[in-house]
């Protein structure tokens, strides 16, 4: 099971993360920290180039192992606008999507377009009948993206908050093939 390394999503293109983009990934995360740190535990003031390199290295290993498929999101003029990925961690038959948008590119419908494109690709993979998005119940922007992309709530999970903006409730949404 392996999705394509490049996916077109309207005016965006999703490309498998490359190590040479680590400095740009660092810049994107740094300038987006006020938004990212609320819901992404790894997004802290301490985030540095080693972390960006580590993320891309793990992404490429995860891709090779068939466990996760992470893409950088670029605009049509090659600006890095965020990241999105498919993860197998919820078990067979389902892929989970995770994402973040670089703040200057937020609110343009980019992540909704990227989620729609990646979901379409996920359903072409063998045995994939469901795609999931998990978000904290306080994460209204992520809820809006998932809802606009057609993901409906199928359950809730209770866990310790992992990031400053989180409650203890994770909403599980899915889209069926
Ligand atoms: C969630 C996130 C990826 C959305 O990215 P984006 O590129 O702005 O998404 P889109 O432009 O496609 O859509 C954003 C939607 O959220 C809505 N939205 C944004 N902030 C909101 C808020 N505080 N309350 C309610 N809705 C909000 C927007 O209005 C828009 O919906 P609309 O088109 O119906 O108006 C971005 O906010 C982000 O990176 N957040 C931090 C990281 C994160 O939470 N990742 C997901 C973890 S589950």
Whether residue 1 is predicted with pLDDT greater than 90 in this model: the reply is no
Per-residue pLDDT, averaged over 161-177, amounts to: 97
Q: Whose CA is nearest to atom 1 of ligand 1?
A: 142
Q: How far is CA 5 from the centre of its chain?
A: 15
Task: Tell me: pLDDT of 38 over 80.
Answer: yes
User: Which two structure tokens, joined as six digits, stand for 54?
Assistant: 């580590």
d(CA 162, CA 92) in angstroms, rounded, equals 25
Q: What is the CATH number that goes with domain 6-133?
A: 3.40.630.30
Query: What are 75-117's pLDDT values in tens digits?
Result: 999 999 999 999 999 999 999 999 999 999 999 999 999 999 9
Contact 70, 100 (CB under 8 A): no
pLDDT for the residue 158: 97
**Which atom of ligand 1 lies closest to the CA of 105?**
7
* Residue range 52-78, pLDDT digits in tens: 999 999 999 999 999 999 999 999 999
Q: Of 82, 144, 161, 164, which is best to mutate to test ligand 1, by the most ligand atoms within 8 angstroms of its C-beta?
A: 144
State the distance from the centre of ligand 1 to the C-alpha of 90, rounded, in angstroms. Answer: 23
Helix H, strand E, coil C: the string for the chain is CCCCCEEEECCEEEEECCHHHHHHHHHHHHHHHHHHHHHCCCCCCCCCHHHHHHHHHHHHHHHHCCCEEEEEEEECCCCEEEEEEEECCCCCCEEEEEEEECHHHCCCCHHHHHHHHHHHHHCCCCCCCEEEEEEECCCHHHHHHHHHCCCEEEEEEECCCCCCCCCCEEEEEEEEC
Contact in structure between 87 and 26 (CB atoms under 8 Å):
no
Please name the residue whose Cα sits nearest to atom 21 of ligand 1. Answer: 141
Is 6's pLDDT higher than 90? yes
Question: Can you give the pLDDT at residue 80?
Answer: 98
Cα gap 137→135, rounded to integer Å: 6
**115-151 pLDDT per residue, tens:** 999 999 999 999 999 999 999 999 999 999 999 999 9
- pLDDT (0 to 100) of residue 34: 98
Q: How far is the CA of 108 from the centre of ligand 1 (A)?
A: 9
Domain boundaries, the chain: 6-133
Lowest mean pLDDT among 1-5, 41-45, 77-81: 1-5
């Amino acid at each position: 099971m392996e999705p394509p390394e490049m996916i077109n999503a309207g005016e965006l293109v999703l490309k498998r993360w490359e190590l040479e983009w680590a400095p740009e990934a660092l810049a994107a995360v740094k300038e987006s920290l006020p938004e990212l740190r609320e819901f992404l535990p790894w997004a802290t003031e301490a985030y540095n180039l080693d972390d960006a390199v580590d993320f891309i290295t793990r992404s490429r290993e995860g891709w090779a192992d068939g466990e996760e498929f992470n893409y950088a999101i670029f605009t049509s003029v090659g600006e890095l606008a965020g990241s999105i990925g498919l993860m197998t961690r919820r078990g067979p038959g389902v892929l989970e999507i995770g994402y973040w948008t670089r703040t200057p590119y937020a609110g343009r419908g980019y992540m909704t377009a990227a989620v729609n494109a990646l979901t379409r690709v996920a359903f072409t993979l063998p045995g994939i009948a469901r795609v999931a998005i998990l978000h904290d119940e306080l994460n209204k922007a992520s809820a809006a993206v998932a809802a606009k992309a057609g993901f409906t709530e199928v359950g809730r999970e209770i866990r310790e908050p992992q990031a400053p903006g989180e409650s203890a409730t994770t909403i599980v949404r899915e889209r069926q093939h």
